[in-house]
Amino acid sequence: MAYQSVDQLQKVLANKVFHYTKDAKKASGRALGTLVEIITFYLLKSWGFENSIAIEKPLSEYGNPDIAHNVEYSLHPILRGYDFALPKRLPITSSRLLSSIENDFPIKGFEKKGNILLTSGLILRNSCIVANKKVPYASHLMSNLHSVKSDVVQVRLLEQFSKPYAMFECKRVGVEEGMKKGPQTIEKAKQGAYVARTVSSLHKVRLPSGELQGLIYKQNGEIYSKPYTELISDIVNSDDPELLKDFILTVGVVSNHGNWFTSDNHNKELKVLAQSYDWLLFLTDEGLAEFITELLLKPQPLLKPARKAFLVSYTAEKKKNAFTKVQMDYEADQVLQSYFVKNLSRIEKWFNIITPRSGTMPKLHSQISQLRDKNWEALHLL
């Protein structure tokens, strides 16, 4: 790594990019947090989960639907999909999408959202939800933009079941000058831990020996229990509706910057998260610095459109941010997808697995794929 730490890299960004702000280090810290989210998002896309992703969708607590929590990314069962082309007339609004497909893709009972898939300025809305439905089951219509050509736009519309089978949350806290840890570190850790423990039907119980036991309630009042990692494996490999019905695989992504220490040297905050998420991934300083160097400081030719979108979004004259997990410059999105697919094996090495101890990135990928590929309708879970 060209820099001794992400803290040093943040100072470089503060001097080179955010020098115009009142607090350049804080501004660069917020940008680093956005980059962690973007790395996670494009990793999921490169793994083939683009059609399952929803962004910042509220998830209800298990057994307590009065309380819901927004999460960065949730992965949902795909009920049906439809590919079609539109004349290139911008913007591409929810109204235009829905009116274009109503004869071929029934949408009765759906309530339209006001989102724009692609603006006149070629700003893409990732995982753009265009409509919601509550009965006979809760679902939503999500649109993905496949390509933009000189005269036509290729779009995919998907109906996703509202209850997800997996979720991803990103946690990062910066350090103020002269301090050893950020003032909100433990609060953010507890917040992430609370959400991870409450949205899924899978409960963790700590035994006197320190081992974790997992349990799930079945409809007849039976409690199904096993050692925690064994139970997760059972659920993922199962076609038992009672095990799968309200199960959500919870995945946390944390980055260092002086608060989480390292994957081998856990502080209290990291321990809290590690015992709350089913999977906890540690994005290393080396990995984050590698991405920032290749994107911004010594840009790879492929990533120059993404670098341009970043710099335009983080200047004093910016009109609108076009480099976030929700809204991304179209050309930047295209090159980021290519970069992540081309470098996937290297990018997977940017992450260390905190929990489970035997976990690997291919194993996580496999578990999510198994959940995605289940026949949710046949299991009568809709």
Question: In this model, does residue 177 exceed pLDDT 60?
Answer: no
Same domain, 135 and 186: no
Is there a domain that residue 240 lies in? no
Same domain, 287 and 355: yes
E strand segments, 181-246 = 203-206, 212-217, 223-227
Residue 325 and residue 37: Cα distance in Å, rounded? 7
Question: In this model, does residue 361 exceed pLDDT 50?
Answer: yes
Domain end marker among 161, 190, 209: 161
Same domain, 305 and 358: yes
Residue 153 and residue 131: Cα distance in Å, rounded? 20
Same domain, 266 and 367: yes
Nearest C-alpha neighbor of 161 from the set 181, 182, 142: 142
Q: Please give the single-letter amino acid code of residue 284.
A: T
The first and second tokens of residue 187, run together, are 């609060």
Residue 303 and residue 323: Cα distance in Å, rounded? 13
Where b means 16+ CB within 10 Å and e means fewer, 41-80 reads bbbbbbbebbbbbbbebebbbbeeeeeebebbbbbbbbee
Is there a domain that residue 216 lies in? no
Same domain, 84 and 156: yes
Question: In this model, does residue 120 exceed pLDDT 90?
Answer: yes
**Cα 259–Cα 265–Cα 267 angle in degrees, nearest 5:** 45
pLDDT, greater one: 16 or 35: 35
pTM: 0.92
Nearest C-alpha neighbor of 284 from the set 340, 338, 344, 353: 353
Same domain, 254 and 133: no
The first and second tokens of residue 228, run together, are 């925690």
The pLDDT score that the predictor gives to residue 317 is 66
Same domain, 102 and 36: no
Q: How far is CA 353 from the centre of its chain?
A: 17
Is there a domain that residue 209 lies in? no
Residue 163 and residue 90: Cα distance in Å, rounded? 32
Contacts for 299 with CB less than 8 Å, ≥ 6 apart? 307
The pLDDT score that the predictor gives to residue 1 is 46
State the total domains in the chain: 2
Asked which of 18-27, 134-143, 149-158 is least confident by mean pLDDT, the reply is 18-27
The pLDDT score that the predictor gives to residue 135 is 87
What are the Cα distances from residue 101, in Å, to 81, 138, 150, 310? 11, 20, 22, 34
User: What mean pLDDT comes out for the span 206-210?
Assistant: 88
Same domain, 349 and 253: yes
pLDDT, greater one: 21 or 94: 94
Domain end marker among 133, 161, 189: 161
Percent of the chain exceeding pLDDT 90 equals 65
Same domain, 83 and 30: no
Is there a domain that residue 220 lies in? no
Residue holding tokens 């929700």? 326
Contacts for 358 with CB less than 8 Å, ≥ 6 apart? 229
Is there a domain that residue 212 lies in? no
Domain end marker among 134, 161, 188: 161
Domain range for 112? 78-161
Bond preceding residue 106 cis, omega within 30 of 0? no
Same domain, 125 and 178: no
**pLDDT band at 258; cut points 50, 70, 90:** low
Same domain, 117 and 261: no
Residue 381 and residue 246: Cα distance in Å, rounded? 9
Is there a domain that residue 272 lies in? yes
Is there a domain that residue 215 lies in? no
**pLDDT band at 253; cut points 50, 70, 90:** very high
By the 10 Å C-beta count (0-12 exposed, 13-18 middle, 19+ buried), 186 is classed as middle
Same domain, 26 and 140: no
Asked which of 37-46, 116-125, 303-312, 372-381 is least confident by mean pLDDT, the reply is 372-381
The pLDDT score that the predictor gives to residue 378 is 81
Residue holding tokens 């004093």? 316
Is there a domain that residue 354 lies in? yes
The first and second tokens of residue 40, run together, are 């996670």
Cross-sheet strand order for the sheet of 203-206? 203-206, 212-217, 223-227
**Cα 201–Cα 207–Cα 211 angle in degrees, nearest 5:** 85
Q: Are 28 and 18 in contact (CB under 8 A)?
A: yes
